[in-house]
């Protein structure tokens, strides 16, 4: 036994002594975290030596990246601690953003820019003969999300910190994020993305804040010592949630918020029993099983898989987060009376909707509150954001599975539902049909828990993500709920952060903008309006075009390296990048490209303006039709790019592994933004906003936020085509027969016949039969053929406009100038004021 250390008194006196001494130590002159170029260089050298253990001979680019990242992180630490102290001291109301996805991308460049170290670090490194850009590229993307929903959460974190709002993101620290997409022989191949292989410079593990989580088992009802009926959860399996904290720096302020990601760890207690029984191997196996919970992100965008592990993931991160939130509250407050005045929890889609039942369980079973009191608190605390109307995205769990994994929560859900329905019946606020549609439990051969209904019933606010989407929510999906509680529903049109998507991604354009209107646009994007007059300035237009050309050249380098294709920088860069989904209609785009090719082949006098069609996006691994679409794009590219007859007129490339860091190269280089979803299907879109902010003109349908983008930039600066929501509904009601369009439109017949006969699959004539079949015999559910002619006509307008470069540039500049509304700062300000009631807390 080592000798016992004398017990130190850790009372207030000792603490404040420690605080004073720490203060003095930190305030020494020549602080080692100063931000002058010399100290930054010293920091880099120190980290290379002390953190990486390398010298100039042995250091790799990755070592140097880590040395820079740690130097930046050091300079965020003080602010991070001060921010948390400020929230604590002011007993500020906090926002908790619960999301199963955070599609963060790389962090270093964003952190350099947000904390104002970019220029200093670049010169510090250039004195050492190092290029900052080379080191930035070493960082792997944090791809903890599928697409728009996850990227929205990342943009929101940036805006929350920039607006000085006391906020925390809560999610899962997946060991494997979204898969790495390779293309082999034109087909998508998925490979695991080991983003943590070399460790992350940004996460700080907090084993001291580990949370125990129960799953499975059963419930026991008993009478407590006061004679009260209580419930306990017994015979459960146990897992631990260990938090990893990531700092989120605001731009141009001293706020550093926290993104807390939970990792599943095996529970020690559980292992011990097996070890004692001498069964070492099964104890280790068990450990593996529980740690599987945070292993991998489900790669499905907008479709549910209904897998048990997914339900475990949802509950795991919700349980850890609610525990954390309640603990933090109880540190400062005796009970729960003020809980909704101090806590706002936003649920990003229904993925965290079990939080409603979990908070009820904690308040009623663990904290001993009465049901009614707990319910009022829960409802006042939660807000729910809906992200889609697509029926395949609506989460439902079979009562069987739900009750097996979460026996106590199933009881709570039933109780919530019983009281909800009793209340509605008693007040005669809905008929039986409406009640059965609103019920949290779907009756039928296999009973289901409807997570969206749980989220609506358990929240004081339900929002859609664009004006049109919110209207459709009220009219269709949540029609009955809207009739019951109209005041609950509101719209929060999505946005994107102008720091990452303009300042970081497009430094050339950002610099030109700042030179003419100053830097205020960075935190007030409506200032971009002051660019409007510059649209009439020939000199600015020339500058704008030269920046776009440089960006096209940078993207062309990637395409040459990845695809072996040389792009014509004078051609129109026409881009569709987003997850591959039938409703997004990549098929409409590629069928038209194929049709252009056929027209060029048959009509030698046809002379379209040279165009480069770029596609990118991942298909869910189990989504066969999405994978066929990728194969088709690659096959069309092969045929078109190698045909000397059309050389220089049409070029096609599929950019593999579309992700945040690639998106940062694509948007600034794009000239035409393809936003062509079937009207009523895209809830908002955010890619559409990033394109417009970077001066691409949209060709699009009246869907999602396209509607509002068009209102902002002006109808004359937007290429609109296609059926409206009403026309889509009318056509389907009348009975849509795609064969009619096939027979009556020569171009449709020509391109589908070519597909079916193997023109684009030499040697494999029947290859694209599944695509042709889904359009003609599968009913063409997304109306590709019905919108084809309008789309082709609109693309001719695009071409005509592009032939007048001065006119095109005017329109492009006006798009940049008029998209300030789509800053996520505006979105977050609306959430903070209208849903959360959370004021900012200035730090430093
Ligand atoms: C913005 C973004 C999305 C969302 O694009 P949509 O066109 O709105 O679907 C998806 N993935 C990445 C990497 C993005 O940056």
pTM of the full structure: 0.96
Range 705-712, long-range pairs (CB < 8 A, 24+ positions): 705/465, 705/466, 705/493, 705/494, 705/822, 706/675, 706/682, 707/466, 707/467, 707/468, 708/466, 708/467, 708/493, 708/821, 708/822, 709/819, 709/822, 712/818, 712/819, 712/821, 712/822
DSSP 609: P
Beta bridge partners, 220, equal 232
What is residue 219's predicted lDDT score, i.e. its pLDDT? 98
Q: Which of 93, 469, 584, 649 is catalytic?
A: 584
The superfamily CATH assigns to domain 498-727+783-822 is Glycogen Phosphorylase B; (3.40.50.2000)
Segment 136-190, tens digit of pLDDT: 999 999 999 999 999 999 999 999 999 999 999 999 999 999 999 999 999 999 9
Q: What is the mean pLDDT of residues 774-801?
A: 98
In the chain, the percentage of residues whose pLDDT exceeds 70 is 96
Site to substitute for ligand 1 among 388, 674, 687, most atoms within 8 A of C-beta: 687
Q: Mutual orientation of helices 507-517 and 538-563 as an angle, nearest 10°?
A: 170
Domain with CATH 3.40.50.2000 in the chain: 91-106+141-493+830-836, 498-727+783-822
What is the spatial distance between Cα 497 and Cα 730, in angstroms, rounded to a whole number? 38
HEC string of 272-329 equals HHHHHCCCHHHHHHHHHHHHHHHCECCCCCCCCCCCHHHHHHHHHHHHHHHHHHHHHH
Pick the residue whose CA is nearest to atom 8 on ligand 1. Answer: 685
Any atom of ligand 1 within 6 Å of the Cβ of 178: no
Beta strands in 533-683 (DSSP E): 572-577, 611-616, 650-655, 672-675
Any atom of ligand 1 within 6 Å of the Cβ of 143: no
Q: What is the mean pLDDT of residues 750-764?
A: 97
Pick the residue whose CA is nearest to atom 7 on ligand 1. Answer: 687
Question: What would the two tokens of residue 508 be?
Answer: 């050339």
What is residue 5's predicted lDDT score, i.e. its pLDDT? 43
What's the CATH code, domain 91-106+141-493+830-836? 3.40.50.2000
Segment 222-273, tens digit of pLDDT: 999 999 999 999 999 999 999 999 999 999 999 999 999 999 999 866 555 6
What is residue 217's predicted lDDT score, i.e. its pLDDT? 97
What is residue 9's predicted lDDT score, i.e. its pLDDT? 46
What is residue 484's predicted lDDT score, i.e. its pLDDT? 98
What is residue 274's predicted lDDT score, i.e. its pLDDT? 60
Categorize the per-residue pLDDT at 3 as very low, low, confident or very high, splitting at 50, 70 and 90: very low
What is residue 23's predicted lDDT score, i.e. its pLDDT? 76
147 Cα: distance to centroid of ligand 1 (angstroms) = 5
What is residue 8's predicted lDDT score, i.e. its pLDDT? 45
Q: What is the mean pLDDT of residues 289-318?
A: 94
Q: What Rg value do the Cα atoms of the chain yield, rounded?
A: 28
429 flagged as catalytic: no
What DSSP line would sit under 336-400, residue for residue?
Answer: STTHHHHEEEEEESSTTTHHHHHHHHIIIIIT---HHHHHHHHHHHEEEE-----GGG--EEEHH
Any atom of ligand 1 within 6 Å of the Cβ of 680: no
Categorize the per-residue pLDDT at 627 as very low, low, confident or very high, splitting at 50, 70 and 90: very high
Any atom of ligand 1 within 6 Å of the Cβ of 148: yes
690 flagged as catalytic: yes
Categorize the per-residue pLDDT at 276 as very low, low, confident or very high, splitting at 50, 70 and 90: low
pLDDT at 6 over 60: no
Q: From the CB of residue 414, how many other CB atoms can be counted at a distance below 10 Å?
A: 16
Continuous segment of H or E residues that includes residue 668: none
Which residues lie closer than 8 Å to 350 by C-beta, 6 or more apart? 384, 386, 394, 395, 451, 452, 454, 455
Query: Minimal CA–CA distance to 174: which of 293, 298, 308, 294?
Result: 294
What is residue 1's predicted lDDT score, i.e. its pLDDT? 38
301 Cα: distance to centroid of ligand 1 (angstroms) = 11
What is the spatial distance between Cα 661 and Cα 742, in angstroms, rounded to a whole number? 40
Buried b (16+ CB within 10 A) or exposed e, 651-686: bbbbbbbbbbbbbbbbbbbbbbbbbbbbbbbbbbbb
Ligand 1 atom nearest to CA at 103: 13
Match 């020690």 to its residue by tokens.
268
579 flagged as catalytic: yes
501 Cα: distance to centroid of ligand 1 (angstroms) = 12
Pick the residue whose CA is nearest to atom 4 on ligand 1. Answer: 148
Any atom of ligand 1 within 6 Å of the Cβ of 660: yes
Any atom of ligand 1 within 6 Å of the Cβ of 151: yes
339 Cα: distance to centroid of ligand 1 (angstroms) = 35
Q: What is the mean pLDDT of residues 648-661?
A: 97
Categorize the per-residue pLDDT at 13 as very low, low, confident or very high, splitting at 50, 70 and 90: confident
Any atom of ligand 1 within 6 Å of the Cβ of 690: yes
pLDDT at 378 over 90: yes
Categorize the per-residue pLDDT at 80 as very low, low, confident or very high, splitting at 50, 70 and 90: very high
Q: What is the mean pLDDT of residues 313-340?
A: 98
What is residue 2's predicted lDDT score, i.e. its pLDDT? 42
pLDDT at 10 over 60: no
Q: What is the mean pLDDT of residues 785-801?
A: 98
809 flagged as catalytic: no
């Amino acid at each position: 036994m080592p000798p016992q250390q004398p017990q130190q008194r850790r009372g207030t006196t000792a603490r404040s002594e420690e605080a004073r001494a720490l203060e003095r130590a930190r305030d020494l002159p020549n602080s080692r975290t100063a931000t002058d170029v010399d100290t930054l260089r010293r920091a880099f050298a120190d980290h290379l030596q002390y953190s990486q253990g390398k010298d100039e001979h042995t250091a790799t680019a990755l070592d140097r990246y880590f040395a820079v990242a740690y130097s930046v992180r050091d300079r965020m630490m003080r602010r991070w601690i001060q921010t948390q102290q400020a929230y604590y001291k002011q007993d500020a109301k906090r926002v908790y953003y619960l999301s199963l996805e955070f599609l963060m991308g790389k962090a270093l460049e964003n952190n350099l820019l947000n904390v104002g170290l970019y220029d200093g670090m670049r010169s510090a490194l250039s004195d050492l003969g190092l290029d900052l850009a080379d080191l930035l590229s070493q960082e792997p993307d944090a791809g903890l999300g599928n697409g728009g929903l996850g990227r929205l959460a990342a943009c929101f974190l940036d805006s929350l910190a920039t607006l000085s709002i006391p906020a925390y993101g809560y999610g899962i620290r997946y060991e494997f994020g979204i898969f790495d997409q390779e293309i082999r022989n034109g087909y998508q191949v998925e490979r695991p993305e080991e983003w943590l292989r070399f460790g992350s410079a940004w996460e700080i593990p907090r084993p001291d804040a580990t949370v125990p989580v129960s799953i499975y088992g059963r419930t026991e009802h008993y009478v407590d010592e006061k004679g009260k009926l209580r419930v306990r959860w017994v015979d459960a399996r146990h897992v631990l949630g260990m938090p990893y904290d990531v700092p989120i720096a605001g731009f141009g302020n001293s706020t550093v918020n926290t993104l807390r990601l939970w990792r599943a760890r095996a529970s020690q207690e559980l292992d011990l029993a097996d070890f004692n029984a001498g069964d070492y191997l099964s104890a280790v196996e068990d450990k593996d099983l529980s740690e599987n919970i945070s292993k991998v992100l489900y790669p499905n965008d907008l479709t549910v898989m209904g897998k048990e592990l997914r339900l475990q993931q949802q509950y795991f991160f919700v349980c850890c987060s609610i525990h954390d939130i309640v603990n933090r509250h109880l540190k400062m407050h005796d009970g729960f009376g003020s809980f909704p005045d101090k806590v706002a929890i936003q649920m990003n889609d229904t993925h965290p909707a079990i939080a409603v039942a979990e908070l009820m369980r904690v308040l009623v079973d663990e904290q001993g509150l009465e049901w009614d009191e707990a319910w009022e608190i829960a409802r006042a605390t939660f807000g729910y954001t809906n992200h889609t109307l697509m029926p395949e995205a609506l989460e439902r769990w079979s009562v069987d599975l739900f009750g097996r994994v979460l026996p106590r929560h199933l009881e709570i859900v039933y109780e919530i539902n019983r009281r909800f329905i009793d209340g509605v019946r008693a007040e005669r606020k809905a008929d039986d049909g409406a009640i059965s549609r609103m019920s949290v439990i779907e009756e039928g051969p296999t009973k289901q828990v409807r997570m969206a209904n749980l989220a609506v019933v358990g929240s004081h606010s339900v929002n859609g993500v664009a004006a049109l989407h919110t209207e459709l929510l009220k009219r269709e999906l949540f029609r009955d709920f809207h009739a019951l509680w109209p005041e609950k529903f509101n719209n929060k049109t999505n946005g994107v952060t102008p720091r990452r998507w303009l300042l970081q991604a497009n430094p050339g354009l950002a610099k030109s903008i700042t030179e003419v209107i100053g830097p205020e646009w960075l935190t007030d994007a409506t200032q971009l309006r002051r660019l409007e007059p510059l649209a009439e300035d020939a000199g600015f237009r020339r500058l704008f075009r030269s920046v776009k050309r440089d960006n096209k050249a940078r993207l062309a380098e990637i395409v040459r390296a990845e695809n072996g294709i040389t792009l014509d920088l004078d051609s129109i860069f026409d881009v569709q990048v987003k997850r591959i989904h039938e409703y997004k209609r990549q098929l409409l785009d590629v069928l038209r490209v194929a049709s252009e090719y056929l027209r060029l082949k048959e009509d030698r006098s046809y002379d379209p303006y040279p165009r480069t069609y770029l596609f990118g996006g991942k298909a869910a691994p189990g989504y066969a039709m999405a994978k066929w679409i990728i194969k088709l794009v690659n096959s069309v590219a092969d045929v078109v790019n190698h045909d000397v007859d059309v050389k220089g007129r049409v070029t096609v490339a599929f950019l593999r592994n579309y992700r945040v860091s690639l998106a940062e190269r694509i948007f600034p280089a794009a000239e035409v933004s393809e936003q062509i979803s079937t009207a009523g299907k895209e809830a908002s879109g955010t890619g559409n906003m990033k394109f417009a902010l970077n001066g691409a003109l949209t060709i699009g349908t009246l869907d999602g936020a396209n509607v509002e983008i068009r209102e902002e930039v002006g109808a004359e600066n937007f290429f609109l085509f296609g059926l409206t929501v009403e026309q889509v509904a009318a056509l389907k009601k009348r009975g849509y027969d795609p064969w009619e369009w096939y027979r009556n439109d020569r171009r449709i017949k020509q391109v589908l016949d070519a597909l079916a006969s193997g023109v684009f699959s030499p040697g494999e004539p029947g290859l694209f039969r599944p695509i042709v079949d889904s359009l003609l015999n599968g009913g063409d559910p997304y109306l590709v053929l019905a919108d084809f002619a309008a789309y082709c006509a609109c693309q001719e307008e695009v071409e005509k406009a592009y032939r007048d470069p001065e006119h095109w540039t005017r329109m492009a500049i006006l798009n940049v100038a008029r998209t300030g509304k789509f800053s996520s700062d505006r979105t977050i300000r609306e959430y903070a004021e209208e849903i959360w009631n959370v004021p900012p807390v200035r730090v430093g």
